A and B are shown apart, each in its own frame.
Chain A
């Protein structure tokens, strides 16, 4: 485990924020996660890397969890504070050359957008479409970082998104090339429902990749 210094914290909503720390030579593959904890807390939690492989910093997107000690403590950090980082870990790592075909569908709920943000920062020319599900429109975390025609915001709690409803409702209504490589990240209910929807549309199980967040 290594210590890193916080550079900036960006508050995206009341409960969601991005912590940027100095890179210090840390290597990872886009899609992987790290384990973070404030300097004096033993408990670690895992967070996908939000920044790209080539960015000169590391960023993680964090949502404060009601009963979560780590996310609450990380939110209180200031530039110059230290945190402990361990990793990288995980098997959601992405490189377009690893896949047959060049069609990529990314489906995220909430902060599950994090690895996809990293994918796009690392491979900006990717032929992808990202579907991001949140409750309210203001939770569309930094959508300006994605090409407008490649992202669809689904909002289940208001009508401010491109689609009013859940990501599963949206994908159900879409035509899909069965050769698409589908990546799912977010809550487990979404992932398991989406698994049914995608397989019903002819996507083979071997083309579905998932990262369960909660």
Chain B
């Protein structure tokens, strides 16, 4: 695939774009001077000058129109003001901060785009070399947040996704290696650790009888948490509803180190769309899981993924998705407008929902999410929440943090030493998608 990057603004952005190009070249993408030839277009933006921002809007509107007749993935990074960033979230496929640049190929691959290097050599469908990747000592970008790959590949064959063809079969990493890496990270002081996999809760299914199951792996992590007597939160993403059992939810409820935040991709709230998506679950199954979560872990936050405008999605079917959002009251939804991915089954189907209609549906769901987040967030006012401080907030003089449920809480402080620390923050006000609080205390709790 060819790519094109446009750089606006100062030398700093030029320097950034050189690094972006380096990462994309290494991933096997091929530079083109002609943006019309590109399947991947990025822009290093500059919010400092209105003219530069006007150029961004002009370009992205043009590129989004191109999506009506070609496959195109767009990204934006650089110097972006918070207001612009919010708007760009709706316009670009990918927005990222430069510190996350190493993850750019991964972000692109989430859009089902395989790298040219992969296309050339084909894929290793059995992921026989995956152990080498797992055994690479990672250079962590943070000293308090880390990811542990536990599973790779996908056997689910959702019709909108090319991952089974690009990532190969589901392969589970040996649990002893996962536990060893986790223990090491905890010993080094990491506090937020995410178990990663394309279908993370399918863990162990490829090695039945030889490897522990996913709930058993979580149980062993929970027991480790008790033994180590250190405070840390363990997350996992992304699970598939088909393999989400009550046992998984029961184990999460049982152990404090297993974070009370569940990301459960729904994709659509309509059974017929789910069939076309080849999702292997229906709304009855999804509803059962959510009920189990609410019953066993009432404090858990619930995140989801939704695709709007999937091939053939009628207004009525979309309305079922909106109703599902109303019913489940997600704390966060990563909603994407459907676009066909080469290699996926649905790529052969008509992309028959117009771009304008997809945008409208995206907007409706965003408003729906806002509607249910406001009362939820307001219910947290005056409560003291445990948070992990993650860095400077975009509001001057504030730090940004996340609760165990991954809700954003900012509080007034210039003390950078707090970054990477747990703290207690009393919530004083709530907005649509974030909370504001006052620092109560900082401590290293040892209460497993």
Q: Which residues on the A side are within 8 Å of B155 (C-beta)?
A: 89
Q: Which residues on the B side are within 8 Å of A192 (C-beta)?
A: 272, 275-276, 312
Nearest CB of chain A from residue B407's CB, rounded to whole Å: 34
Known: A188-B275, A196-B272, A212-B275. A1 touches B126 (CB 8 A): yes
Q: Which residues on the A side are within 8 Å of B278 (C-beta)?
A: 212
**Complex alpha-carbon distance, A212 and B273, angstroms:** 11
Q: Which residues on the B side are within 8 Å of A191 (C-beta)?
A: 275-276
**Complex alpha-carbon distance, A44 and B123, angstroms:** 10
Q: Is the CB of B125 within 8 A of A206?
A: no
Most buried by A among B159, B275, B283, B345: B275
Residue B373 is within 8 A (CB to CB) of chain A in the complex: no
Nearest CB of chain A from residue B41's CB, rounded to whole Å: 27
Query: Closest residue of chain A to B271, judged by CB?
Result: A205
The 8 closest A-B pairs by CB, nearest first: A42-B122, A192-B272, A212-B278, A188-B276, A210-B275, A89-B155, A195-B272, A91-B280
Q: Is the CB of B276 within 8 A of A212?
A: yes
Q: Which residues of chain A from 42 to 100 have any CB-CB distance to chain B below 8 Å in the complex?
A: 42-44, 46, 86, 89-91
Q: Which residues of chain B from 263 to 292 have any CB-CB distance to chain A below 8 Å in the complex?
A: 271-272, 275-276, 278, 280, 282-284
Residue A171 is within 8 A (CB to CB) of chain B in the complex: no
Residue B323 is within 8 A (CB to CB) of chain A in the complex: no
Residue B63 is within 8 A (CB to CB) of chain A in the complex: no
Q: Is the CB of B275 within 8 A of A195?
A: yes
The size bracket of the interface on B is 20 to 34
- Pick from B169, B275, B284, B345: contact of A214, CB under 8 Å: B345
Query: Closest residue of chain B to A91, judged by CB?
Result: B280
Residue A151 is within 8 A (CB to CB) of chain B in the complex: no
Known A42-B122, A205-B283; further 17 A-B contacts with Cβ < 8 A? A35-B125, A42-B121, A42-B123, A43-B122, A44-B125, A89-B157, A91-B242, A91-B280, A188-B276, A188-B312, A188-B349, A189-B312, A191-B276, A192-B276, A196-B272, A205-B284, A212-B345
**Complex alpha-carbon distance, A70 and B172, angstroms:** 29
Q: Which residues on the B side are within 8 Å of A1 (C-beta)?
A: 125-126
Q: Is the CB of B280 within 8 A of A188?
A: no
Q: Which residues on the A side are within 8 Å of B284 (C-beta)?
A: 205-206
Query: Closest residue of chain B to A196, judged by CB?
Result: B272
Residue B229 is within 8 A (CB to CB) of chain A in the complex: no
Q: Which residues on the B side are within 8 Å of A210 (C-beta)?
A: 275
Q: Is the CB of A44 within 8 A of B165?
A: yes
Q: Can you list 27 A-B pairs, Cβ within 8 angstroms, ordered by A?
A: A1-B125, A42-B121, A42-B122, A42-B123, A43-B122, A46-B157, A86-B169, A89-B155, A91-B242, A91-B280, A188-B159, A188-B276, A188-B312, A191-B276, A192-B276, A195-B275, A196-B272, A205-B271, A205-B282, A205-B283, A210-B275, A212-B159, A212-B275, A212-B276, A212-B278, A214-B345, A214-B348
Nearest CB of chain A from residue B106's CB, rounded to whole Å: 22
**Complex alpha-carbon distance, A192 and B314, angstroms:** 12
Nearest CB of chain B from residue A77's CB, rounded to whole Å: 19
Q: Which residues of chain A from 174 to 191 have any CB-CB distance to chain B below 8 Å in the complex?
A: 188-189, 191
Nearest CB of chain A from residue B277's CB, rounded to whole Å: 8
Chain A residues in contact with chain B, CB under 8 A? Answer: 1, 35, 42-44, 46, 86, 89-91, 188-189, 191-192, 195-196, 205-206, 210, 212, 214
**Complex alpha-carbon distance, A35 and B165, angstroms:** 10
Most buried by B among A1, A43, A191, A192: A192
Nearest CB of chain A from residue B266's CB, rounded to whole Å: 16
**Complex alpha-carbon distance, A212 and B311, angstroms:** 14
Nearest CB of chain A from residue B122's CB, rounded to whole Å: 3
Q: Which residues of chain B from 325 to 361 have any CB-CB distance to chain A below 8 Å in the complex?
A: 345, 348-349
Q: Is the CB of A86 within 8 A of B125?
A: yes
Q: Which residues on the B side are within 8 Å of A188 (C-beta)?
A: 159, 275-276, 312, 349
**Complex alpha-carbon distance, A196 and B125, angstroms:** 37
Q: Which residues on the A side are within 8 Å of B125 (C-beta)?
A: 1, 35, 44, 86
Q: Which residues of chain B from 117 to 172 have any CB-CB distance to chain A below 8 Å in the complex?
A: 121-123, 125-126, 155, 157, 159, 165, 169
Q: Which residues on the A side are within 8 Å of B280 (C-beta)?
A: 91
Q: Which residues on the A side are within 8 Å of B348 (C-beta)?
A: 214
**Complex alpha-carbon distance, A205 and B281, angstroms:** 11
**Complex alpha-carbon distance, A214 and B157, angstroms:** 12
Most buried by A among B155, B272, B348, B349: B272
**Complex alpha-carbon distance, A205 and B165, angstroms:** 30
Q: Which residues on the A side are within 8 Å of B349 (C-beta)?
A: 188
**Complex alpha-carbon distance, A61 and B165, angstroms:** 21
**Complex alpha-carbon distance, A214 and B346, angstroms:** 8
**Complex alpha-carbon distance, A86 and B276, angstroms:** 24
Nearest CB of chain B from residue A2's CB, rounded to whole Å: 10
Q: Is the CB of B271 within 8 A of A86?
A: no
- Pick from A43, A89, A195, A212: contact of B271, CB under 8 Å: A195
Nearest CB of chain B from residue A212's CB, rounded to whole Å: 5
Nearest CB of chain B from residue A145's CB, rounded to whole Å: 27
Query: Closest residue of chain B to A204, judged by CB?
Result: B284
**Complex alpha-carbon distance, A46 and B344, angstroms:** 12
Q: Which residues on the B side are within 8 Å of A89 (C-beta)?
A: 155, 157
Nearest CB of chain B from residue A147's CB, rounded to whole Å: 29
Q: Which residues on the A side are within 8 Å of B275 (C-beta)?
A: 188, 191-192, 195, 210, 212
Nearest CB of chain A from residue B401's CB, rounded to whole Å: 41
**Complex alpha-carbon distance, A212 and B312, angstroms:** 14
Q: Which residues on the A side are within 8 Å of B123 (C-beta)?
A: 42
**Complex alpha-carbon distance, A43 and B164, angstroms:** 12
Nearest CB of chain A from residue B347's CB, rounded to whole Å: 11
Nearest CB of chain B from residue A128's CB, rounded to whole Å: 21
Query: Closest residue of chain A to B314, judged by CB?
Result: A192
Nearest CB of chain A from residue B344's CB, rounded to whole Å: 12
**Complex alpha-carbon distance, A188 and B155, angstroms:** 19
**Complex alpha-carbon distance, A89 and B169, angstroms:** 10
**Complex alpha-carbon distance, A2 and B55, angstroms:** 53
Nearest CB of chain B from residue A154's CB, rounded to whole Å: 20
Query: Closest residue of chain B to A33, judged by CB?
Result: B157
